[in-house]
Amino acid sequence: MKKILIANPKGGGGKTTLSTNLAGYFANQGIKVCLLDLDKQQSSYGWLERRPEQLPEINSAKIHNAFSQKKNIEVAIIDSPAGIRGDKLSDAVKAAD
């Protein structure tokens, strides 16, 4: 599974826009994709909840390790919160591809 982290400490820089568009792109390509939202605001998950069900599937996961075995996810898109820094940022970068 390829893990793509979308991170930028600046708020409103387009992380959620990029995350949701990438997830939609991969789903439309027939690739098994999972969207993970680490932001307390849960904007990506909010978008996913409103996305019409008939569109190609985007999986979601609230627990980081729980999704890969279950659904053979090929790509995980990880939306992250503004202000991410220090250990949290380095852990997130290390966990991503």
Ligand X SMILES: Nc1ncnc2c1ncn2[C@@H]1O[C@H](COP(=O)(O)OP(=O)(O)OP(=O)(O)O)[C@@H](O)[C@H]1O
Judged by beta carbon, residue 16 or residue 78, the one nearer Mg ion is: 16
Which residue reads 């939202």 in tokens? 37
The pattern of x and - marking residues 21 through 50 that bind Mg ion according to CB under 5 A reads ----------------------x-------
Nearer CB in complex with ligand X: 68/82: 82
Closest distance of CB 22 from ligand X, Å: 12
82 binds ligand X (CB under 6 A): yes
**Residue (of 29, 24, 41, 34) closest to 4 by Cα position:** 34
Q: For residue 20, give every residue at least 6 positions away whose Cβ sits within 8 Å of its Cβ, in sequence order, or none.
A: 35, 44, 47, 48, 79
